């Protein structure tokens, strides 16, 4: 897939285009990409997507913007996997936000991109103050020589599939629900970097995965599979959170203890698939208590993959698996 960071002054050839933030690339997005692909093939056109960086809500209200489901790299990888041949990543800034709907259609879509076939969501808004909508796109279509269609929302078990619905499921620890909406397990990708070495000192060396998410949409202790560390996915247990036992005020960290693995993977880009949540983060009184809980977490994760029951609570407070930091 080709990735372009700007819109050409003048298009060289016509394209089929869809526009959106595509955060998470969930089933609703996938349905749109599939429909775009069919239209592109029928017209002999490349299937293209326009997306924005940062998300417009991050630009206008960064403190109130929702957590991202995917980094830009993850989103582009998913768009390519679902058939997009060319992605236009538009830098969303003050100047872009001031483009009028009329200019967006004429200068960007028609002259710059050469849009021949356009597909948008039925609630799509664009241009300064979000003044443009589908009816406006339709009004200009015959005049400027393109076709436009609107994609209705995709429903799943009576629920509208949306990035918001995925976030809610993740926040509640409902990984199965999130996976149904996404059509795959929720995952976070990143490069393995060196951490503080605490896991190794405690007997559970972890791969520290660098995240691009400012605020991950989920926290806690999880059974996971890791792709990219070996020829096939590896199983393990992951801690995602601020590690309150060892940090007073810290940023979220993703650490994965991979079962029965001793390979050197620093610098490698991996993908962590979240399959089951065991518990929330918890602050322990000391490292000995933390180590004891990690051993329970590891046992529970192994039991999960065997299809066995979790380690039961005991009289010393041990319990359901999680790396509690």
Same domain, 87 and 130: yes
Higher pLDDT, 77 or 63: 77
Same domain, 113 and 20: yes
Q: Does residue 211 sit within a domain? A: yes
Q: Does residue 268 sit within a domain? A: yes
Label residue 296 by pLDDT band (50, 70, 90).
Answer: very high
CB 237 within 8 A of CB 298: yes
Same domain, 227 and 108: no
| Domain that includes residue 254, residue range | 185-306
Label residue 325 by pLDDT band (50, 70, 90).
Answer: very low
Q: Does residue 256 sit within a domain? A: yes
Q: What is the pLDDT of residue 203?
A: 85
- Does 178 have pLDDT greater than 90? yes
Label residue 313 by pLDDT band (50, 70, 90).
Answer: very low
CB 171 within 8 A of CB 217: yes
Q: What is the pLDDT of residue 215?
A: 86
Q: Does residue 207 sit within a domain? A: yes
**Count of C-beta atoms within a 10 Å radius of residue 146:** 22
Mean of the per-residue pLDDT values of the chain: 91
Same domain, 149 and 200: no
Q: Does residue 4 sit within a domain? A: no
Q: Which long-range contacts (CB under 8 A, 24 or more apart) does 41-44 make?
A: 43/14, 43/16, 43/116, 43/117
Label residue 323 by pLDDT band (50, 70, 90).
Answer: very low
Q: Does residue 271 sit within a domain? A: yes
Q: What is the pLDDT of residue 316?
A: 40
Same domain, 112 and 193: no
Same domain, 217 and 150: no
CATH code assigned at 45:
3.40.50.620
pTM of the model: 0.90
Same domain, 18 and 65: yes
Same domain, 57 and 190: no
Same domain, 140 and 212: no
Torsion of CA 77, 82, 87, 93, to 10 degrees: -70
Label residue 139 by pLDDT band (50, 70, 90).
Answer: very high
State percent of the chain over pLDDT 90: 78
Same domain, 229 and 152: no
CATH code assigned at 267:
2.40.30.30
Q: Does residue 261 sit within a domain? A: yes
Q: What is the pLDDT of residue 55?
A: 86
What average pLDDT does this structure show over 3-7? 95
CB 325 within 8 A of CB 303: no
Same domain, 280 and 219: yes
User: pLDDT by residue (tens digit) across 31-45?
Assistant: 999 999 999 999 999
Same domain, 110 and 208: no
User: pLDDT by residue (tens digit) across 224-253?
Assistant: 999 999 999 999 999 999 876 667 667 889
User: pLDDT by residue (tens digit) across 253-270?
Assistant: 999 999 999 889 999 999
**Number of structural domains found in the chain:** 2
**DSSP, residue by residue, 227-243:** ESSSSS-EEEEEEEE--
Eight-state DSSP code of residue 63? T
Q: Does residue 324 sit within a domain? A: no
């Amino acid at each position: 897939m080709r990735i372009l960071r700007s819109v050409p002054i003048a298009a060289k050839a016509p394209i089929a285009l869809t526009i959106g933030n595509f955060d998470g690339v969930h089933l609703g997005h996938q349905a749109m990409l599939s429909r775009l692909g069919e239209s592109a093939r029928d017209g002999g056109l490349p299937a293209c997507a326009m997306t924005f960086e940062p998300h417009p809500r991050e630009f206008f209200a960064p403190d109130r913007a929702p957590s991202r489901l995917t980094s830009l790299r993850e989103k582009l990888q998913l768009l390519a996997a679902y058939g997009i041949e060319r992605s236009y990543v538009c830098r969303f800034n003050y100047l872009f936000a001031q483009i009028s709907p009329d200019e967006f259609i004429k200068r960007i879509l028609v002259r710059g991109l050469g849009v021949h076939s356009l597909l948008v969501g039925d609630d799509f808004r664009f241009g300064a103050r979000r003044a443009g909508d589908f009816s406006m796109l339709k009004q200009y279509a015959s005049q400027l020589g393109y076709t436009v269609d609107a994609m209705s929302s995709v429903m799943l078990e009576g629920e509208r599939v949306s990035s918001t619905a995925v976030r809610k499921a993740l926040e509640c620890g409902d990984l199965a629900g999130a996976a149904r909406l996404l059509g795959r397990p929720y995952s976070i990708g990143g490069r393995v970097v060196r951490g503080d070495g605490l896991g190794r000192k405690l007997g559970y060396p972890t791969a520290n995965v660098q995240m691009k998410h400012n605020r991950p949409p989920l926290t806690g202790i999880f059974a996971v599979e890791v792709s990219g560390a070996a020829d096939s996915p590896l199983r393990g247990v992951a801690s995602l959170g601020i590690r309150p036992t060892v940090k007073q005020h810290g940023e979220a960290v993703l650490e994965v203890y991979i079962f029965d693995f001793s390979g050197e993977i620093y610098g490698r880009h991996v993908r962590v698939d979240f399959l089951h949540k065991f518990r929330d983060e918890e602050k322990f009184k000391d490292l000995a208590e933390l180590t004891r809980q990690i051993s329970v977490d590891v046992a529970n994760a192994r039991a999960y993959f065997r299809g066995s029951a979790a380690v039961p609570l005991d009289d010393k407070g041990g319990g359901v698996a999680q790396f509690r930091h």
